Structure 1
Amino acid sequence: MIIVGIALLGYSGIQMWSSNEQQQAALLKAEQRIMDQAKSEGPVVFDPKIGEEIGVLSLPKLDSTLPIIEGVDESELSRGVGHYYGTSFPDDKGQIVLSGHRDTVFRRIGELEIGDELVVNMPYGNFTYIIEETEIVEAGDTTVIRPEQDEELLTVTTCYPFRYVGDAPDRYIIYAKPKS
């Protein structure tokens, strides 16, 4: 039993280390993409492909900076915060949906409160959002994704409860609107 316990702890430690390394590499690529665009003098061409590092999500209250990856499959979520393909991007006047794992990138997301800021840095600009509402829904509830929305809304999702072991039964949703 002790050997099995040590093996499980070792495996978990390696998984956490690997995930952190992947996130750091993705963050460097996303920051480089933003800097490269800032230096360029031509028009911004923004047409991301699944798996690409497309931006950076900053959570100032948590002193956290996270890469945003296009797509929400496991391969993208293991590297950062996933942008739900088919939803809007900042400044598109629609719903932007970002998702991440509660035990990696969003480990401390439960500490955020109404009125806190979320900052999205993209190759074409920086966008600040203010948290206006949170809710908890069942895991299968897809009604929180409303791409046909006609006003800009940042929706951030993660599994809930935060300290649940295994597949969590619910989702924690944050709704934030652009800072005026």
Structure 2
Amino acid sequence: MTRLLLLLLTSSATLLVFGLWIPLKAVLAQEMLEVAWAESQARQTESRPWPWADTWPVARLAIPELNDSMIVLADTHGESLAFGPGRLAGDDDGNGAVIIAGHRDTHFRGLNVLETGNEIRLQGRNGRWRSYRVENTRVVDSRSELIDTQRLPGGTLLLVTCYPFNSVDAGGPLRYVVRARAAGITAPREQIDTVTRI
């Protein structure tokens, strides 16, 4: 009976650790990324958060509606997205269109509460903040709808995550897309068209 109880407790603890590992890693990584971001801004150069990192901070994303601020990483391969959202497109000055992707169950878990008019802010390495306003949100099937980054007007910010938010199945084809425009910039409302898979 004691062995069975010990086995149950050990199994439960193991499952709990595995269940909390990704969210815990995301929180701890953001602390290390804060330091790397401060160093990147001070030195105006790429600063890796740990010696073996294959990514580095490129921006800070603030979403006042969610009372949240996070470091954005270069690139969006699977390993880096575990630590923070990644920039798919855009430059350090924020002049063109910017696309940022993140996991629905960690950094981008609150995107579904954003509404038209909500503010999103993006800070570049130079320390300047650029303010955006949410234009719309929508669900996209990544098997049939793509983003042509060449057709997105300057001043566009897209935040992309998997959908649905509460799904237990990871990696499905649906994406939740928040589209925002830089404050003071107006452009025609064109469709998201073909070329780059989201």
The reply to whether TM is greater than 0.5 is yes
Q: Which residue of 2 aligns with 1:138?
A: 141
**Counterparts of 1:37-48 in structure 2 under 5 Å?**
none
Pairs aligned (count): 170
Structure 1: runs of 5+ lacking an equivalent = 38-43
Equivalent position SS for 2:28: helix
| Aligned-residue identity in percent | 22
Structure 1 residue 56 and structure 2 residue 60: aligned? yes
Equivalent position SS for 2:22: helix
Match among 7, 25, 30 for residue 18 of structure 1? 25
Cα displacement (A) at 1:68: 0.6
| Residue type at the aligned position of 1:101 | H
Write the distance in 2 (CA, Å) between the matches of 1:92 and 1:59. 17
C-alpha deviations, 1:80-129, integer Å up to 9, x for none? 11001xx2236554321000000010111111111001100111221110
Structure 1 residue 8 and structure 2 residue 44: aligned? no
Equivalent position SS for 1:80: coil
Structure 1 residue 99 and structure 2 residue 106: aligned? no
Cα displacement (A) at 1:159: 0.5
Cα displacement (A) at 1:9: 2.2
Structure 1 residue 155 and structure 2 residue 158: aligned? yes
Q: Is the 8 A contact 2:25 2:82 kept in 1?
A: no
Match among 174, 179, 186 for residue 175 of structure 1? 179
Equivalent position SS for 2:177: strand
Q: Is the 8 A contact 2:59 2:92 kept in 1?
A: no
Q: Which residue of 2 aligns with 1:66?
A: 70
Higher normalized strand content (fraction of residues): 1
Equivalent position SS for 1:28: helix
Q: Is the 8 A contact 2:119 2:132 kept in 1?
A: yes
Larger Rg: 2
Structure 2: runs of 5+ lacking an equivalent = 1-6, 49-53, 185-198
Equivalent position SS for 2:168: coil
Equivalent position SS for 2:91: coil
Q: Is the 8 A contact 1:118 1:129 kept in 2?
A: yes
Give the number of the structure with larger relative contact order, counting CA–CA contacts within 8 Å between residues 6 or more apart: 1
Cα displacement (A) at 1:135: 1.1
Q: Is the 8 A contact 2:58 2:92 kept in 1?
A: no
TM-score with structure 1 length normalisation? 0.81
Structure 1 residue 121 and structure 2 residue 123: aligned? yes
Tell me: CA distance 1:12–1:143, structure 2 relative to 1, closer, same or farther (3 Å).
same
TM-score with structure 2 length normalisation? 0.75
